[in-house]
Amino acid sequence: MNPFTYARAHSPAEAAAAAMQSPGARFIAGGTNLLDLMKLGIETPTHLIDVNGLALDKIEATPQGGLRIGALVRNTDLAADARVRRDYSVLSRALLAGASGQLRNRATTAGNLLQRTRCPYFYDTNQQCNKRNPGSGCAAIGGISRQHAVIGSSTACIATHPSDMAVAMRVLDASVETVQPNGARRVIPIADFHKLPGNTPHIETVLERGELITAVTLPAPLGGTHVYRKVRDRASYAFALISVAAIVQRDGTGRVALGGVAHKPWRVEAADAEMAHGPTAVTQRLLDGATPTTDNEFKLQLVRRTLAAVMMQEKGAKS
Amino acid sequence: MEEFSDIKLSRREFVMVGAASVSAVAVPAGAATPTTQRTPASMTPVAANVSFVVNGQPRSLQLDTRTTLLDALREHLHLTGTKKGCDHGQCGACTVIVDGRRINACLTLAVMHEGAKVTTVEGLGTPTRMHPMQVAFVKHDGYQCGYCTPGQICSAVAVLDEIRAGIPSHVSPDLNARPHASPGEIRERMSGNICRCGAYSNILEAITEVAGSQS
């Protein structure tokens, strides 16, 4: 690990301004992803700004009837919050499906959104990776790609976004609140927050240099049945092959988002309109234009079958 | 206060240096710079002060900012009960309890824990006054080689606290009902602690016994 200087931030605006001043700076909160990558020489910050002391650890009701989740709310606390369990259970379920108890106790809401891919070629510094070393090529393309993206990928990158939480936030239409180095604040819809890889897979979000996430807001509860179904190689403590986050209403309408299939949480609003027509129709819309590899084309059928299981689970719950 | 330069070469580090792969721990003594000094883009180690309470004892350290909580406990405070397995948050051998919560000590920097209360396996009990979880692990043979055991025990103690606090898990059938220390719940909640010897069934029996005696 390269040496770095370390400072504790005292306000969000101060932290953002400090990050702007120091080109090699990174914010650190839980550190569960950043420190791992620093040990491997994939992240090489020269200055760490510890944001843990900022008062961003509350979950508050919004005037619109939703919730504002502070950027530093730990994954354990968000999953266990009584309002989240009752009104946004897809989010509780997604959080509890991810990582381990120890990691959820440290990992934060903002940090979870900013998790980097678990592509093994990104993690292996001996391999070509356009995300780690722009312009070097992608060893995953033509490599072992069972875990990789099936849609929205590019000739530069086929990595997936690893978060479960972000998939639930996408189906809930959450918004990301930030403060910029000049003190200005902005609100970014979760749909626009993560980017597809294109020719710049190293740019993963629309955040600008120094910009700090302060909160994630959820709109008023949508009702319906909330389901998060994750399919993985182990029953616990593994990243998703695919996951389905769904909210199904009593009349069969609803909305759905997928994890493990793309560079960002994957949702196609037009597919929501197919909910009443069954899992095959929804999957066709969701994965229209998919470009799987021979290693991961099984994910297309896995999505359809998992979605079918989710929709049957909802029917069973109603009867 | 323990000095930043007070780093002794262990046998393992000596072997690493001998193999010409100089570890980050083996920085030259006296290379420490004051906390306030900025050395961006430099390979010069940076020192910082941190004070926390470990197993009830206040400790103050001057550390390379890169020092994880795990290395601070093992290499600087010589509390070697906490083990380094993967050093990447995958195995759980380094699990300690910080401010009442179990975390992976390998994936957090020591300097991030100013003022924290840290409990390691040494703080749970002693050979003559063992914690009930330690007693149960011995009784049920909840280990073979023992390397993962301190992490398993710290994790298990915290798991029962989490269940008592009503924190749900992936296998809780109803998110809004109080969870119980069922075998399924314990297995899921302990999934971040790997045991290569495969003592899982005995670990489960040990935790189940302690859960039963507490309920």
The predicted pLDDT at position B41 comes to 53
B167 at A interface, C-beta within 8 A: yes
The token pair at A72 is 């530093």
Contact A257, A167 (CB under 8 A): yes
- According to the model, what pLDDT value does residue A318 have? 56
Q: Strand A67-70 vs strand A212-218: parallel, antiparallel, or unpaired?
A: antiparallel
Contact partners, residue A259, CB within 8 Å, separation at least 6: A160, A161, A163, A164, A166, A167, A230, A240, A242, A243, A244, A245, A265, A266
The per-residue b/e assignment along B104-132, b for 16 or more CB within 10 angstroms, e otherwise, is bbbbbbbbbbeebebbbbbbbeeeeeebb
Q: What are the phi and psi torsion angles at A186 (to 5°)? A: -145, 160
Of A36, A48, A97, the CB nearest to B89: A36
CA distances from B178 to A90, A94, A252, B3 (A): 18, 19, 30, 48
C-beta of residue B105 within 8 angstroms of C-beta of residue B69: yes
Residue pair B148/B92 in contact by the 8 Å Cβ criterion: yes
Inter-chain contact A5–B167, Cβ cutoff 8 Å? no
Q: Is the pLDDT of residue A170 over 90?
A: yes
The structure tokens 């639930």 sit at A168
CB hemisphere CA count around A130 (13 angstroms)? 20
Task: Report residue A317's pLDDT band, with 50, 70 and 90 as the boundaries.
Answer: low
pLDDT of residue B27: 40
**Could you give the CA distance from residue B32 to residue B5 in angstroms, rounded to a whole number?**
7
Question: Is the Cβ pair B104, A102 closer than 8 Å?
Answer: yes
Q: How far apart are CA B150 and CA B77, in angstroms?
A: 17
* B188 touching chain A per CB within 8 A: yes
Backbone dihedral angles phi then psi of residue B68, each to the nearest 5 degrees: -75, 165
- At B14 the pLDDT is 44
Residues B82, B95: Cα–Cα separation, whole Å: 7
Nearest CA in chain B to A6: B65
CA distance B27 to B208: 46
A37: its two tokens: 């990558």
Rounded to an integer, the average pLDDT of A180-198 is 98
- Give the per-residue pLDDT at A161: 98
Residue B89 CA to its chain's centroid (Å): 10
Distance in angstroms between the alpha carbons of the first and the last residue of chain B = 42
Q: Look at residue B23 in the predicted model and tell me its pLDDT.
A: 40
Chain B residue numbers with beta carbons less than 8 Å from the beta carbon of A3 are 39, 42-46, 64-66
Q: What is the DSSP letter of B73?
A: I
Looking at beta carbons, which residues of chain A come within 8 Å of B169? 96, 101
3-state SS class at A272: helix
Backbone angles phi, psi at A216, to 5 degrees: -125, 130
The most distant pair of C-alpha atoms in chain B lies apart, rounded to whole Å, by 57
Q: What is the CA radius of gyration of chain B?
A: 19
Q: What is the pLDDT of residues A246-274, one digit of tens each?
A: 999 999 899 999 999 999 999 999 999 99
Q: Under the phi-then-psi rule, with left for phi > 0, alpha for psi from -120 to 50, and beta for the rest, what region is B36?
A: alpha
DSSP A262: S
At residue B4, the 3 state secondary structure works out as coil
Asked whether A242 and A260 are in contact (CB, 8 A), the reply is yes
Question: Could you give phi then psi for residue B106, rounded to 5 degrees?
Answer: -80, -20
How close B98 gets to chain A, by Cα (Å)? Answer: 10
The total of other beta-carbon atoms located within 10 Å of residue A51's CB is 26
Closest Cβ–Cβ partner in A2, A48, A93 for B43:
A2
B87: nearest CA partner in chain A:
A36
Q: What angle do CA A264, A187, A211 make, to 5 degrees?
A: 80
Mean pLDDT computed over every residue of chain A: 97
pLDDT reading at A239 higher than 60? yes
Closest partner CB to A80 (pick from B112, B155, B167): B167
As a whole number of angstroms, the distance between CA B151 and CA B103 comes to 10
Could you tell me if B165 and B173 are in contact, meaning their C-beta atoms sit under 8 angstroms apart?
Answer: no
Residues in A touching B103 (Cβ below 8 Å): 102, 105-106
Is the model more confident about A212 or about B29? A212
DSSP secondary structure letter of residue A238: -
What's the pLDDT at B79? 98
Confidence of residue A112 (pLDDT cuts 50, 70, 90): very high
- Count Cβ atoms within 10 A of the Cβ of residue A129 and give its class: 0-12 exposed, 13-18 middle, 19 or more buried: buried
| B103, HSE (Cβ side, Cα atoms, 13 Å) | 28
- The answer on pLDDT for A11 being more than 50 is yes
Q: Which of A34, A48, A102, A106 should be substituted to probe chain B, the one whose Cβ sees the most B Cβ atoms within 10 Å?
A: A102
Task: Check B192 against A76: CB less than 8 A apart.
Answer: no
Low-confidence ranges of chain B (pLDDT < 50): 2-3, 5-7, 9, 11-37, 39-40
Cα A20 to chain centroid distance, Å, stands at: 25
Contact criterion met (CB < 8 Å) for A3 and B46 = yes
Q: Which residues of B touch A92 (CB under 8 A)?
A: 168, 175
**What is the rounded average pLDDT of the residues A38-61?**
98
Q: Using the beta-carbon criterion (under 8 Å), do B102 and A102 form an inter-chain contact?
A: yes
pLDDT at B4: 55
- HSE-CB for B56 with a 13 A CA cutoff: 5
